[in-house]
Structure 1
Amino acid sequence: MAKVSTKQEVSGWVGWVAFAGVLSMVLGTFQAVAGIVALFKNEVYVLGPENLWLFDYTTWGWVHLLWGIFLVLAGGAILSGKTWGRVTGVILASVSALVNFAFIPIYPLWSIVIIALCVFVIYALIVHGDEIAVE
């Protein structure tokens, strides 16, 4: 009797998922660096008196540092093909984009670059995420 294989063929797009995993780890590192800078070098980030801000730099430093650690862990899970890693990666990248949107008044160029990288991660995981799944 012939055996039918239902294994999904891996396309060239699987590289996008690996890219998303590595980029998630890079984003996490960037976020952690921004957090460490905010914690220890408050004079790097300057906010004018016309801007309304809800948190001090120490709070933002902890937010960025913890979010960076979570992104690095999610990147590792994405690279290992875990479904929960892809879901977590999309959620973390989405929230990271929102956090950096709120950070635009403090450091515009950095925040916009991080938001753009988050969009790449979200795209790769949503459109091509199932191609790297581990059975």
Structure 2
Amino acid sequence: MNTKQTTATGFVLFAAILMILSGVWGAIVGLAAIIKREFFVVAPNYVYEFSITGWGWIHLLLGIVLIAVAVALIAGRSWARWPVIVLASIQAIAQFAFLPYYPWWSILIIVLDIVIIWALLAWRPESL
């Protein structure tokens, strides 16, 4: 295996593992919002406000889908690259909307999603 293939494989594996972690964390936050909605407190005078339970279901379902697609990417399914990029983008947007409820967590997951997107976009399988 040449250096370019090793690097590309490392990028994909790195992104997929981060995506699994991000999906698990998203699912846990979703469960927390569904089970104990008082856990999240809205900052006063924030521009927008959403239902905590609704956001919990969104995070839970998005987390499960992220895990499934990331596992497909680890299994070598090349079709999973673009769905992971799209799902990471959707999750970053969802976390942005979740900022008033849990700001530090949302920022952490947005940064994680950006790293995942970068890693998968940096991978060029056709140039191997």
Equivalent in 97, 102, 107 of residue 112 of structure 1: 107
Question: CA offsets, 1:30-71, max 9 Å, x none?
Answer: 000000000011111001341243531110000000000011
| 8 Å CA contact retained: 1:77, 1:86 | no
Q: 1:75 to 1:41 in 2, by over 3 A?
A: same
Equivalent in 93, 98, 107 of residue 98 of structure 1: 93
Larger Rg computed on CA atoms: 1
SS at match of 1:11: helix
Equivalent in 59, 64, 74 of residue 69 of structure 1: 64
Shift of 1:130: 2.5
Alignment of 1:45 onto 2:40: yes
Q: Distance in 2 between matches of 1:22 and 1:106?
A: 26
Q: Distance in 1 between matches of 2:30 and 2:121?
A: 28
Equivalent in 70, 78, 93 of residue 83 of structure 1: 78
- Identity percentage of aligned residues: 39
> What runs of 5+ residues in structure 1 fail to find an aligned partner?
1-8
Equivalences, count: 124
Q: Distance in 2 between matches of 1:36 and 1:90?
A: 24
- Please give the root-mean-square deviation of Cα atoms over the aligned residues, in Å: 1.8
Residue 130 (structure 1) aligns with: 125
The one-letter code sitting in structure 1 at the alignment partner of 2:96 is F
| 8 Å CA contact retained: 1:71, 1:89 | yes
| 8 Å CA contact retained: 1:29, 1:68 | yes
| 8 Å CA contact retained: 2:85, 2:116 | yes
Shift of 1:77: 1.2
* TM-score, normalised via structure 2 length: 0.89
Equivalent in 25, 29, 32 of residue 34 of structure 1: 29
> What runs of 5+ residues in structure 2 fail to find an aligned partner?
none
Q: Distance in 2 between matches of 1:108 and 1:114?
A: 10
* TM-score, normalised via structure 1 length: 0.84
Q: Distance in 2 between matches of 1:13 and 1:91?
A: 19
Shift of 1:83: 2.2
